[in-house]
Amino acid sequence: MTNILAMLSGSHVVQAIIIGGVLAFLTANIIMNAVVKSMTTTVNGWRTTMKCGQPGNGLLLRAACAKILPAVNVVEEAAYWTTTVDGAGQRLNGRHAYVLHFPAGQLPPNDAFWSLTLTDVAGYMLSNPIDRYSLGGRSGLAPNADGSFDIYIQNTAPAGHAANWLPAPAGNFKLMLRAYLPGAAILDGEYRVPPVIKVQ
């Protein structure tokens, strides 16, 4: 090794270090992507994992969790679902109007509260005309006559449904659903978040 380094000029050593660092970074990303894929489940377009935040998770697993979630808690404290697609697998985009329909008795079960947040695809909040960035169990949502709830996700206000409107940008966006102190149906993996439906 000493002989090899002696044969290389200073600039070659620097180039070798840079190339090695880049290769290490790319390898780590490939491994983390594989870990993320193996630990997440996707139902109705919503991705979630119940494995983050567990005591004893190694460095690689913690890094993979940080890549897919804004915060890493044990699932008994908070459960997270994210989606960038509607129920048909099409990219969420403010050119379309969407409805997230919760049948009666099917709001996210919890012992604290739940919320639905809209961000850009990188996870940053977007300004909107009514300064509303999330809706949830404490938002005073208006129920339907049958006890179900509809959340209207679109760029312009839905006529007659302002209380249940989550403003969307003109372009692509991401949704995150959170349940704090999630109920047994979430912890057991029985609860399914409904699909985001594009309004025709």
pLDDT of residue 28: 43
Q: Looking at the predicted structure, is the pLDDT value of residue 135 above 80? A: yes
163-184 average pLDDT score = 97
pLDDT value at 68 more than 90: no
pLDDT of residue 32: 46
Q: Which pLDDT belongs to residue 74? A: 80
In the predicted model, is pLDDT for residue 154 greater than 70? Answer: yes
1 versus 11: the higher-pLDDT residue is 11
For the chain, the structural domain boundaries read 73-198
Rounded alpha-carbon distances, angstroms, from residue 141 to 16, 80, 147, 187 = 59, 21, 11, 25
Please compute the mean of the pLDDT values over residues 62-83 and round it to a whole number.
75
What's the pLDDT score for residue 75? 83
- Judged against a pLDDT cut of 80, whether residue 147 lies above it is answered with yes
Buried b / exposed e along 86-101 (16+ C-beta atoms within 10 A): bbeeeebbbebbbbbe
Q: Band the pLDDT of 71: cuts 50, 70, 90.
A: low
Q: Which CATH class is domain 73-198?
A: mainly beta
pLDDT above 50 for 124: yes
Q: What is the per-residue pLDDT across 15-64, written as a single tens digit (0 to 9) for each?
A: 656 666 555 444 444 544 554 555 678 999 999 877 665 666 556 666 66
Question: Are the beta carbons of 108 and 191 closer than 8 angstroms?
Answer: yes
Contacts of residue 101, Cβ cutoff 8 Å, sequence gap at least 6:
148, 149, 150, 194, 197
